[in-house]
Amino acid sequence: MSQNQQKPPSIFTMMKTFTNELGKWIKEGAPNVSPEDYAERLDVCSTCEHLLKASMRCGACGCLLQHKAKWKTTDCPKEKWKKQDMSDVNEQGK
Ligand code: SF4
């Protein structure tokens, strides 16, 4: 199956995943990655076999990448993104 034919997770699964990620991001003080890391994440997604180009969603988790890639508390479900230093996030979220 080609990347553009990949079936995304159901709306229910997508909403559940996105809500969980949003809750985690807010709880930790809404920290974002640097602009450089954001661009790097989107670069990785642009060549990923899971990318759903028409909607710019991740076919593995269903999240909208323009949001998910900005949030420091989120990670790629296939571990393709660079790991973030979370020490400052954990301090803010206390
Ligand atoms: S978040 Fe990960 S799995 Fe999803 S499209 Fe980006 S690189 Fe691929």
Question: Ligand 1: which of 18, 58, 75, 79 to mutate, most ligand atoms within 8 Å of CB?
Answer: 58
CA 4 – ligand 1 centroid, Å:
14
Tokens matching residue 27: 């709880």
Cβ–ligand 1 contact at 45 (below 6 Å): yes
Q: Provide the phi-psi class of 29: left if phi over 0, else alpha when psi is between -120 and 50, else beta.
A: left
**pTM of structure:** 0.85
Residue 2 has pLDDT above 50, yes or no: no
CA 87 – ligand 1 centroid, Å:
24
Q: Which string of b and e fits 32-66 if b means at least 16 CB within 10 Å? A: ebeeebbeebeebbeebebbbeeebbbbbbbbebe
Count CB-CB contacts under 10 A for residue 17: 19
Count CB-CB contacts under 10 A for residue 28: 19
Per-residue pLDDT reduced to its tens digit, 39-91: 999 999 999 999 999 989 999 988 899 999 999 999 999 999 999 988 888 65
